[in-house]
Structure 1
Amino acid sequence: MSLIDKIDKEHLPRHVAIIMDGNGRWAKARGKERSYGHQEGVVSVRKAVEAATKIGLNYLTVYTFSTENWNRPEEEVIALMNLLVTAIHRETPDLMRNNVRLKAIGDLSRLPEQTNRTLQDCIRETSANTGVTLVLALSYSSRWEIVEAAKRLAAQVETKKIKVEDITEELFADQLTTRGIPDPDLLIRTGGEQRISNFLLWQLSYSELYFTDVFWPDFREDELYEAILSYQHRERRFGQTSEQLIL
């Protein structure tokens, strides 16, 4: 029996988020430049989207570029931005064919003009699709996101649009870049590291975490299905006891 056949389609995670780690180390192990690993990583994104489509996932978020990544060597940043433009342009027909909707979260104002224009064009073109929603976390930092949300709420208090006592978890969440997107049920991190790396800190409060030693360029359908099978064997209690869940 294949892995996909073992998955319970009635109990899928609604939203899977992935920290795509290991591109550089994968390339280095092969005597290549880091950019080669990033190029191969694009293939893995395509394969993950195809796998998500096959089983009917609703949301797939990939940590594409963090705000901290702007501090990498200039040539690598330029190469990443160029790769992003090329990849989005090349993948748009497949996204349309597979009914995938594209969204993006993060400080997109920092993206180069051409990169942002290509991204927005693809978001508009795929906006009516009803299959998997692929969310690119670009120029994203969870601390940045939370601070920006706090600023917006503070401004609303200052202009007397709301009162301090009006602020709830739901109101705060509505100020985040993920507004309208359900919190991830499952977070996958590739590459062997076991940390969150400033990614979706608010949204991951009750997510199941799955770490794998597989470098992102080697991540394929079966790796995603393994993670989902692991998720389906876990008990999600959300602060309750096992006995309460049975009742």
Structure 2
Amino acid sequence: MKTLPGIEILHVSQKYKSSRDNTLTDISLTINRSDVFGLLGPNGAGKTTLISILCGIIPPSSGEIGFYLDGRILSESERKRVIGFVPQEYAFYEELSPRQNLDYFGAMYNLPKGQLEIRREELLETLGLLKSADKKVSTFSGGMKRRVNLAIGIIHQPGILFLDEPTVGVDVQSKNAIIRYLQEINRQGTTIVYTSHHMSEAEEFCNRIALIDHGRVISEGYLVDLKTENNVLDLQSLFIKLTGEEYRD
């Protein structure tokens, strides 16, 4: 059976007014439904800019993006309802509790009160936040804050989830809990688009990847095929081989 695309990115470029060069140049990618698709690359490669465009936060300078469901292109309003975004920066109110944050953001998605309460408690329990559900988030560890960030991004059960460094700065236990939960919702059909600098995590998590460098796609496809084609044993070796070893600070 043919795999239906979830997202089609066609010749997308981005140039900021303050910059002499393009941040992204002629990006074309297909992200299939139920993929865990890794957007990987060195610092400054353009990954976060591409995710911001896909989430509708900024418009591309040129090119087209289509979101599909069963072969039908989604309208802009439909697209907003099916997208979830978990940014690298914390996107919650620190003076509120997890329960209050989830109530607030769930209401923004117009979730009915009864449905929101059920979904809220499910996420608090699954992500290990139930015992601290009424404490201020400002008192939490980094791992707990990451889990609150994730819960907010998926409160409305999105069909496509964008993750920008979802496990940065967290302990091993929190990282494992986050990845296990993401794998579970992917098995249930959620398409995941993911960026990270953790190559071992990305190799375990992603089935397809695109390597981006200097705003261009330099390689993309199924990870197992890319390793074979480039005669490397792991993703980190592939990354270094294709992007080089020089510093990217």
Q: Which structure carries more helix by proportion?
A: 1
- For the criterion TM > 0.5, the same-fold answer is no
The structure richer in strand per residue is 2
TM-score class, shorter-chain normalisation, is 0.3 to 0.5
